[in-house]
């Protein structure tokens, strides 16, 4: 199980703001089959790990939104009053 766990811990390059959040969501989906494993410890591990991935996904989505909003504010993207000069 260790090799498979390490595979799931690594992520590939994520090109867009919400890319990491989407990568966490995909990883959680990939692990769902562990929830029906014969071993109770594997099922419990999968449950906890999927929950952790969900929390990481939510954090990354918030971070991406905040980052985008900050960049828009910093560069005044979408500020109509600046474009009317």
Q: Give the pLDDT confidence of 32-56 residue by residue, as tens digits.
A: 999 999 999 999 999 999 999 999 9
Does the reported pTM lie above 0.75?
A: no
**64 Cβ neighbours under 8 A, 6+ residues apart:** 17, 18, 20, 21
3 state SS of 17: coil
Average pLDDT, the chain: 78
Query: Hey, what are 84's tokens?
Result: 């009317």
């Amino acid at each position: 199980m260790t090799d498979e766990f390490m595979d799931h811990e690594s992520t590939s390059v994520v090109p867009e703001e919400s890319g990491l959040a989407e990568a966490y969501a995909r990883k959680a989906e990939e692990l769902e089959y562990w929830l029906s494993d014969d071993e109770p410890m594997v099922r419990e591990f999968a449950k906890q790990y999927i929950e952790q991935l969900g929390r990481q996904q939510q954090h990354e989505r918030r971070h991406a939104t905040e980052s985008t909003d900050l960049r828009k504010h910093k560069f005044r993207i979408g500020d109509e009053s600046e474009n009317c000069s």
